[in-house]
Amino acid sequence: MPERKHPDWIKVRAPASPEFFRTKQILGERKLHTVCQEACCPNIGECFSHRTATFMLMGDVCTRNCPYCAVAHGKVRPLDPDEPRRIADAVRELGLQHVVVTSVDRDDLPDGGAGHFAATARAIKSMLPKTRVEVLVPDFQGLLAAVNTVVASPVDIYNHNIETVPSLYRTTRPGGKYERSLDVLRHAKETARAAHNPMLTKAGVMLGLGEQRDELISVLRDLAEIECDIITLGQYLRPSKDHLPVVRYVPPAEFAELKVEALKLGFRHVESGPLVRSSYHAWEHVN
């Protein structure tokens, strides 16, 4: 079967601005990883040019092997205890007012890396108290104590991606469970509320993997019911021929319709479009 060609609305310009190369230099000097680079994000030129990036904690090798993801999987390395400080230092030099921190899955760690997320949030806030910290966390294999660790740290937005509809989890996200991801987001919201913590919750879904519209609307309803504040909807793009193929390219008009539907369900903010990724324009999601 021949590879599908990207439609015109998917194409982006190659990065060439001085700020893009400066951001790349700052990250390289501190030996930091970003999901922008590791996951081949199409928005890297725009984001780096605006001196922002999504930092990726705990190395560039994942313990899971999701067939849609470009991040490498295999043998992982021990945690670097100095990584939180280096990230905070990079955030300061980049002058970020909103920073997104994610990670590879680290199922080898007892807490899934929750303590490392918390340490990074504390490092950033201790250096830059007014900078908003958004974490994009894994499901921690459903360990709610790990969720508590992250919520108790100075995090402004707790983000966990649903990724796809329940019927596609077995083929698309074999290491995850739909209900478990919902439970993680539900618990994060309830824990924050009990502590009078104004922290927001956020989730993301990829489109174009074969989901049906009624399935997607059902997912949006599930997220609205657990009071998820922010949702991102974007087009799945195949990183290589070894990854899951694109079943359908969703046109921009359909993304616009889905945004209207999601807002009707009560989400505080909806970012919906072909090139949208979980951290795309994240600094605008809380305005």
pLDDT in tens, 203-259: 999 999 999 999 999 999 999 999 999 999 999 988 888 899 999 999 999 999 999
CA atoms within 13 A on the CB side of 159: 27
Whether 179 is in a domain gets the answer: yes
Domain span at 172: 31-284
Fill in the amino acid letter for 39.
A
Distance CA 73, CA 66 (A): 9
Whether 113 is in a domain gets the answer: yes
pTM of the model: 0.88
Total structural domains within the chain:
1
What CATH number is given to the structural domain containing 169?
3.20.20.70
Q: How far is CA 83 from CA 17, 87, 117, in A?
A: 27, 6, 10
Whether 193 is in a domain gets the answer: yes
Whether 20 is in a domain gets the answer: no
Q: CB burial class (10 A; 0-12, 13-18, 19+) of residue 271?
A: buried
- Residue 65 has a pLDDT of 85
Whether 73 is in a domain gets the answer: yes
Whether 25 is in a domain gets the answer: no
Model confidence pLDDT, tens digit, residues 89-105: 988 888 888 888 999 89
Model confidence pLDDT, tens digit, residues 155-188: 999 999 999 999 999 999 988 999 999 999 999 9
Whether 10 is in a domain gets the answer: no
Q: Is 253 helix (H, G, I), strand (E, B) or coil?
A: helix
Give residue for tokens 């899955």: 105
Model confidence pLDDT, tens digit, residues 34-76: 655 544 555 555 555 555 667 889 988 889 888 888 788 888 8
Tell me the residue length of the chain.
287
Whether 110 is in a domain gets the answer: yes
